[in-house]
Amino acid sequence: SVPLTYFSGIGAGSRRGILFKGGASLEALNNVKTIVMDKTGTITKGNFVVQNIVPAKGVPLNEGELLWLAAKCESASTHPIARSILTAYEERGAEHGNSTVENIREQAGEGVIASLEGKTVLCGNVKLMEHSNVDLSGYHGTPGSTEVLLALDGRFLGHIDIADTVKPDAKQAIGRMKAQGLRTAMLTGDGQASADAVAQSVGIDEVHARLLPQDKLAALNEIREKNGAVMFVGDGINDAPVLAGADVGAAMGSGADAAIEAADVVFMKADLSSVPTSVKIARSADIISK
Ligand code: ADP
Ligand code: MG
């Protein structure tokens, strides 16, 4: 049974755009020790913008051709990275010959595999390249940025730098969580360097990078075993299993329907300050009940 005072917590939440799906989620929130957050769309805005197009040395492709190839591979994807490549292509791209990219398959957490005139095209992160044994000795990435690499039949063609920005309230919100005595952790499918750069800029304690969507739940369970109950905050379609597996799952109202459905708490404002505010509401509801 849930103390009656939790109903006042539900009301206090809704006035601040925080929708608790029931009193039990407020009670569970009181026992949370670590706030575990997804990176893209949760800590960052998820608005990626193409910064640089870098063909590999010795590859007979110019920037426009590399962007064309990436845009063809990403044409069916709804991932924010794919949208940024398509936007850049629409702004500056041109057609290149009559070649068509076909058999497009998206690999969650890695990128896209397709074919171009019988050859295999890869468009995605280092993990995707490593799984296909692409020789990356000619790749010199920029630490801290998100990069999309391209390869054709095992040959590295170049990369495209893409930047996302941290939400303006993220650092302050994480400071408030710490002041509440909570540990903070970030889970992401992105590379280690770009994950570390974001974590450092906002003050996150613990980083788990290069995770496939199915690895996120295992990482969450590991954190829970070490440090106790966890709240997970995410927004993506891939985040639904982790939201369901957390002691408290919180979804951004701007996120995917599957995430909102799987969550115990929904933040109508897509900012991170809703996290410490929800903790504060849960704690005051608990004091009243005792
Ligand atoms: P996050 O955990 O940050 O929300 P995702 O699991 O959606 O990220 O993706 C993890 C990583 O997989 C991305 O940072 C990117 O490197 C790669 N990736 C996923 N989908 C695509 C795609 N369509 N094109 C290129 N790269 C992709
Ligand atoms: Mg995400």
Ligand nearest to the CA of 258: 2
**Predicted pLDDT of residue 227:** 96
**Which residue ranges does the chain devote to CATH 3.40.50.1000?**
6-44+167-289
Q: How far apart (Å, rounded) are the C-alpha atoms in residues 36 and 224?
A: 10
pLDDT tens digits, residue range 256-281? 889 999 999 999 998 899 999 999 99
For the segment 179-195, the average pLDDT, to the nearest whole number, is 93
**Predicted pLDDT of residue 256:** 84
**Predicted pLDDT of residue 287:** 60
Share of the chain above pLDDT 70, in %: 95
| Residue 288 in this model has a pLDDT that exceeds 70 | no
Higher pLDDT: 213 or 226? It is 226
pLDDT category, 191, cuts 50, 70, 90? confident
Domain 49-163 falls under CATH 3.40.1110.10: yes
| Residue 122 in this model has a pLDDT that exceeds 90 | yes
| Residue 95 in this model has a pLDDT that exceeds 80 | no
6-44+167-289: CATH architecture: 3-Layer(aba) Sandwich (3.40)
Higher pLDDT: 142 or 42? It is 42
Ranking 18-22, 67-71, 118-122, 189-193 by mean pLDDT, the lowest is: 189-193
**Which residue ranges does the chain devote to CATH 3.40.1110.10?**
49-163
**Predicted pLDDT of residue 31:** 95
Strand partners, 123: 112, 150
Share of the chain above pLDDT 90, in %: 73
Question: Between β-strands 183-187 and 206-208, what pairing exists: parallel, antiparallel or unpaired?
Answer: parallel
Atom 7 (ligand 1): residue with closest C-alpha? 109
Ranking 45-49, 170-174, 226-230 by mean pLDDT, the lowest is: 45-49
Ligand nearest to the CA of 216: 1
Q: How far apart (Å, rounded) are the C-alpha atoms in residues 110 and 124?
A: 6
pLDDT category, 22, cuts 50, 70, 90? confident
Mutate to test the pocket of ligand 1, among 67, 81, 162 (most ligand atoms within 8 A of CB): 81
Strand partners, 71: none
Q: How far apart (Å, rounded) are the C-alpha atoms in residues 287 and 290?
A: 5
| Residue 170 in this model has a pLDDT that exceeds 70 | yes
Mutate to test the pocket of ligand 1, among 38, 83, 110 (most ligand atoms within 8 A of CB): 110
**Ligand 1 first shell, C-beta below 6 A:** 38-40, 74, 77, 79, 81-82, 106, 109-112, 123-125, 146, 148, 188-190, 213, 236, 238
If you measure from the C-alpha of residue 145 to the centroid of ligand 1, how many angstroms do you get, rounded to a whole number? 13
For the segment 73-93, the average pLDDT, to the nearest whole number, is 91
**Predicted pLDDT of residue 3:** 60
**Predicted pLDDT of residue 213:** 82
Whether 247 is catalytic is no
Q: How far apart (Å, rounded) are the C-alpha atoms in residues 150 and 161?
A: 12
- DSSP for the chain, written as a single string: ---TTHHHHHHHHHHTTEEESSHHHHHHHHT--EEEEEIIIIIB----EEEEEEEPTT-S--HHHHHHHHHHHHTT--SHHHHHHHHHHHHH----TT--EEEEEEETTTEEEEEETTEEEEEE-HHHHHHTT---TT----TTSEEEEEEETTEEEEEEEEE--B-TTHHHHHHHHHHTT-EEEEE-SS-HHHHHHHHHHHT-SEEE-S--GGGHHHHHHHHHHHHS-EEEEE-SGGGHHHHHHSSEEEEETTS-HHHHHH-SEEESS-STTHHHHHHHHHHHHHHHH-
